[in-house]
Structure 1
């Protein structure tokens, strides 16, 4: 009996030591994370200081870049020298009540960087008595007051998210009374709320648990964070690896980026301890980062249409760099082979796109109505709105002009910076890809509810190498069919049946971006000429425009408008918290008048050798019944069927003379290596159970109608939460 009791005592004591050891390991891993910096190691410190406006950036994911660098020593010493004897700084307004960018939070940010500077061996401030004294004075000042922001987020999340690591970094140097007071400040964060707010709050509780060596509280908070790693069709991580918040609304660059940063941070903090996240959960996070977030980043910039409502200064660059941190974290917590994939991904964000080999293909985020293509040296994307997906939202004085962000917005990137900080200068009725009334009425202001397209036809489809996106407009009395077709490094944009109930003129924007160098153009077989001025003309022959590495092919019998002009604007018109200061830049904007009710154009990279486009290798059908793009060279056919029918193919290499569909669908028809055919389909109505598709000729495993010479196949569409997802069928003669 004594031996049993003694053995149990040893087990109990061993368990205590195990907990204590794991707690210390978690502390050290958090400290090591904050003392390291992939950005400073890559020489990006100055860029990040400028990009985040020395840490005053409004978006937390980008703001934290400022926390993830080693600041120049002169900045640290400046704070040491300008701090008062009572521990505060005169340039901080401690009475500020601004709900955005709360000024007192900068006091805690400085405490964090003082702690980091003191403990960083790479800096001359390492173990500096002056830096330590400034930190202690500043902390005593902070804990002596209970400052509260009108925005609960700063009080319960934002401030403690910096204070926790600032205390852990200096824990062994803190007087006991000061440590207790610091922990009391952290106690303002309680586990609660939902989604990413719940993760942030639980993370702050982790800091408190570590400082108190409380393994029970630590496990409770860790379990809350872990519980948010799952795939759902409600708010959160979606089955297609997009991310929703505030309803079925794509939030890659906002809440979705914060989610990724939190999960990879805590995965590193808890690794190789009993609190480690299970491999299955780590894989979910990794797949989301690689197959979701990373797909909307190109050349070190995030697609502007993936940034949610946050059309902020430096948003595209800042959000991409933040993702690089998350990718770097994943490279540490996964196996050797996978680690290399993550390292390549974050290096691709930090180096110019011209030096990166990319063969990724086309991705359809069917849960969020977004199509993305990354092929060769070009990036394309399309964003739609529908009854089942919210285009965007406005709130907190942000996104004041995003009324048309879901009307088929397109993005074209080669160097990545094509749209960076363009938002004040844009005419937001001329967003790339949209078709809207040609008027100057002030744009309505959206709310937190955002908006959806009233039409019940919208969807995206990808076969991996080709893609289709389409919608029927149904908002503010505007109607019509809009289709987008990606084949290799080309995007074809088609519209028809465009009209308004009020009889207004409609205009479609091909692109609107910064003027870089000059524009060249030609009609017919004429030579390319440089153009430096605006022009508008009805073109009877196809026109080719080239500007900043992009080539635009506009077919005949359309009214083409090219605007090359200065544009003035203020960031205050985009988000209220910016100063109302007017700035100016010069834009290049290409539009088409839609008086005929239709349009047709193609966008592709312009080759350095100015190789001509052989448009005869592509056949276009653009009618109210169907839109087809047939690539005669490789046989791929991309289509949108708006109404059931039998549709001829013009010159198909697939030896299919015509195709029939019994319902509405997006489809891609391609030839397989074994000579068979692959047909990829999706249901843009999300209401059809199945569709009958027929091909001219006789095929195996189908129902052959000898009289019509058509083989029919019945294809079942995914249902329920998978409605709108791609389904593929393989057929052989």
Structure 2
């Protein structure tokens, strides 16, 4: 009996030892994967890295997505040598404001970024540097880390303390782990403990990712698996914040967040998909399919020739944001290919070819899509792209957080952007008149732009939505806020956008305007006569307006005025082109105009406006017949008389596409009440 007990005990000890070794091997494999993916040892991404290296780095960066993009830039020995030479004896750098109190663009975070840069260079060159150079480098890293450990700096914005700093230093600790002393390792773990499981949406993912890094540092397989479970738990559709049923993304309530939290979400998930690939922690087939659908059915729509749609930037109107976010998405797409099916890989590769900066590949991804959960429409043709962003009682239009988007109060009031090259609105924000955002209807005033956190910023109407037949579509918005009323509709066709406004009135004595466009002047702005204008590959045909002004102005401005993290610095003058309609204050007003992207002066002059038959443009209905189809926005119950003389009943408010010859509704989408 004693021998049997002894044998069982020995088996138990051996089994425990084997299990511990297995767990250790698992942690080691995930850690190796993490480092390899983070460092960028992927030949498939080399072309992207080479193209990225041609673009100057941002000197002032607050967007975590952009900061992580900058971590992909090749690191030179000269750059690292400057850091090593300039670090002070106490481990600080003289050009960093360690007393900074900003909530966005917090200066001390630069210190952590420099630690990460040096540790990445250490990892890459650890087998090639001579003893003296290695000693200088590791000495600088030790000093910089210990300065951070001892200074205990805290930002007024919780995000830096719990997410941003651990997310930057965690990979640095992994890369430098073999050089760290026992005390440094303990301090590193304490930094990582500022993150714990909790919150929702992308914040939840960031926190869980930081816990994963701590688990890898502590070789804690149980915690590694728990972190993987929490990360994967957010790969679901339609549960409040996060991925929506239309493949848009929400955070901070029902608010479209493609370019902010949403980009972080899909970028992080692409990273973890690659890290966990080939291990027992790999995402399930269903989870991977959801992420690929978010990429191809959501994000693919919003990038045109490498530039991110302004309507999908959200509050992050940073310098070069449209270009930088486009790069981030392409790197993410590469990561998602690793765990995807061959069919999905082929589609992702096609997206990458067409969506790259300065891509000369013909655009074959075309169509019209209304993101009904986010009050957002995108229209793509082989030659141009356009988008409209709206708000409603269901959907928050915009936000002002941490001095980001100080002037963006009107950015979801029907903002309409058109793209041919992709860079039409690139870095224009400092020169904008923020009451003339393209497409919006609002008050003309010299008063400061309202603060959405202090002023009612919601649109008090549920009559907002759109419908598409896949190729064309109609989007409509009933604007009701701040005493201003307007019905706005957009019909998207192959060659143009028809814009209609009706029942425009207000309880204010201030003038009401509709901005047709506002962009940098490129070349001559020309009048083609009869309310027709041409500028920058785009035509404008004014069919109905109380008055119309076409302006070219010299404008000055600074980024600091609307993004508080930037230093006050007035920029050189730029020439800005704009078209604006002013509405009659004495009676309800309206407008009808066309935008013809990717056109010529001749095409604008020759355009047959009679091919468009306006049926109604009043307070109850906006409808037009084009090529046998009636595009209709009904704000009340109405009727439509078809070509055969029959009357078609429209019982519910919504958007409709009606076949006039057959006398039947082809597509419909009721406004969600």
Pair in the same fold by TM > 0.5: yes
Alignment partner of 2:501: what SS?
strand
Alignment of 1:105-504 (within 5 A): 105-120=109-124, 129=134, 130-447=136-453, 451-502=457-508, 504=510
User: Post-superposition shift, 1:662?
Assistant: 2.1
What is the root-mean-square deviation in Å for CA atoms of aligned residues? 2.7
Alignment partner of 1:403: what SS?
coil
Kindly indicate whether residue 603 of structure 2 is the aligned counterpart of residue 631 of structure 1. Answer: no
Match of 1:580 among 565, 568, 580: 568
User: Post-superposition shift, 1:150?
Assistant: 2.3
Other-structure match for 1:545: 533
User: Post-superposition shift, 1:46?
Assistant: 4.4
Aligned-partner Cα distance in 2 for 1:411–1:297: 13
Aligned-partner Cα distance in 2 for 1:190–1:506: 50
Aligned-partner Cα distance in 2 for 1:415–1:111: 38
Other-structure match for 2:616: 622
User: Post-superposition shift, 1:361?
Assistant: 0.5
Alignment partner of 2:256: what SS?
coil
Alignment partner of 2:213: what SS?
helix
| Unmatched 5+ stretches in structure 2 | none
Match of 2:39 among 35, 49, 62: 35
Kindly indicate whether residue 672 of structure 2 is the aligned counterpart of residue 668 of structure 1. Answer: no
CA deviation vs aligned residue, 1:158-180 (integer Å, no higher than 9, x gap): 11111111121222333344333
Provide closer, same or farther for how the CA distance between residues 62 and 656 of structure 1 changes in structure 2, counting only shifts above 3 A. Answer: farther
Cα pair 2:528 2:534 within 8 Å, conserved:
no
Aligned-partner Cα distance in 2 for 1:198–1:544: 51
Alignment partner of 1:431: what SS?
coil
Match of 1:645 among 638, 648, 651: 638
| Unmatched 5+ stretches in structure 1 | 524-540, 688-733
User: Post-superposition shift, 1:262?
Assistant: 1.6
CA deviation vs aligned residue, 1:457-498 (integer Å, no higher than 9, x gap): 111222211121112221122223211111224211011221
Aligned-partner Cα distance in 2 for 1:23–1:580: 47
User: Post-superposition shift, 1:432?
Assistant: 0.9
Cα pair 1:34 1:116 within 8 Å, conserved:
no
User: Post-superposition shift, 1:613?
Assistant: 2.0
Cα pair 2:238 2:245 within 8 Å, conserved:
yes
CA deviation vs aligned residue, 1:417-451 (integer Å, no higher than 9, x gap): 11121112111111111112333332221118972
User: Post-superposition shift, 1:225?
Assistant: 1.2
Aligned-partner Cα distance in 1 for 2:217–2:405: 40
Aligned-partner Cα distance in 2 for 1:335–1:10: 40
Alignment of 1:582-621 (within 5 A): 582-583=570-571, 584-595=573-584, 597-607=589-599, 610-611=602-603, 612-621=606-615
Cα pair 2:318 2:563 within 8 Å, conserved:
yes
Match of 1:59 among 48, 60, 63: 63
Provide closer, same or farther for how the CA distance between residues 400 and 338 of structure 1 changes in structure 2, counting only shifts above 3 A. Answer: same
Cα pair 2:277 2:338 within 8 Å, conserved:
no
User: Post-superposition shift, 1:341?
Assistant: 1.8
Provide closer, same or farther for how the CA distance between residues 122 and 510 of structure 1 changes in structure 2, counting only shifts above 3 A. Answer: farther
Alignment partner of 2:429: what SS?
coil
Other-structure match for 2:81: 77
Cα pair 2:383 2:598 within 8 Å, conserved:
no
Other-structure match for 1:89: 93
Provide closer, same or farther for how the CA distance between residues 379 and 137 of structure 1 changes in structure 2, counting only shifts above 3 A. Answer: same
Cα pair 2:48 2:331 within 8 Å, conserved:
no
Cα pair 1:401 1:428 within 8 Å, conserved:
yes
After superposing the two structures, state which structure 1 stretch, 325-334 or 32-41, moved more. 32-41
Provide closer, same or farther for how the CA distance between residues 124 and 452 of structure 1 changes in structure 2, counting only shifts above 3 A. Answer: farther
User: Post-superposition shift, 1:574?
Assistant: 0.6
Aligned-partner Cα distance in 1 for 2:22–2:127: 34
Kindly indicate whether residue 647 of structure 2 is the aligned counterpart of residue 682 of structure 1. Answer: no
User: Post-superposition shift, 1:10?
Assistant: 6.3
Aligned-partner Cα distance in 1 for 2:298–2:38: 26
Cα pair 1:202 1:225 within 8 Å, conserved:
yes
Aligned residues: 657
CA deviation vs aligned residue, 1:501-523 (integer Å, no higher than 9, x gap): 23543221111111001122212
Provide closer, same or farther for how the CA distance between residues 160 and 364 of structure 1 changes in structure 2, counting only shifts above 3 A. Answer: same
Alignment partner of 2:435: what SS?
coil
CA deviation vs aligned residue, 1:584-627 (integer Å, no higher than 9, x gap): 31111011222271111111223359433233332222332432
Aligned-partner Cα distance in 1 for 2:126–2:434: 47
Aligned-partner Cα distance in 1 for 2:128–2:635: 67
Alignment partner of 1:679: what SS?
strand
CA deviation vs aligned residue, 1:345-364 (integer Å, no higher than 9, x gap): 23433232543322321111
After superposing the two structures, state which structure 1 stretch, 409-418 or 83-92, moved more. 83-92
User: Post-superposition shift, 1:253?
Assistant: 0.7
Aligned-partner Cα distance in 2 for 1:656–1:415: 45
Alignment partner of 2:622: what SS?
strand
Cα pair 1:265 1:326 within 8 Å, conserved:
yes
User: Post-superposition shift, 1:22?
Assistant: 2.0
Match of 1:17 among 8, 17, 21: 21
User: Post-superposition shift, 1:9?
Assistant: 6.5
User: Post-superposition shift, 1:91?
Assistant: 1.8
Provide closer, same or farther for how the CA distance between residues 340 and 13 of structure 1 changes in structure 2, counting only shifts above 3 A. Answer: farther
CA deviation vs aligned residue, 1:661-713 (integer Å, no higher than 9, x gap): 123220113599xx9966111112x24xxxxxxxxxxxxxxxxxxxxxxxxxx
Other-structure match for 2:552: 564
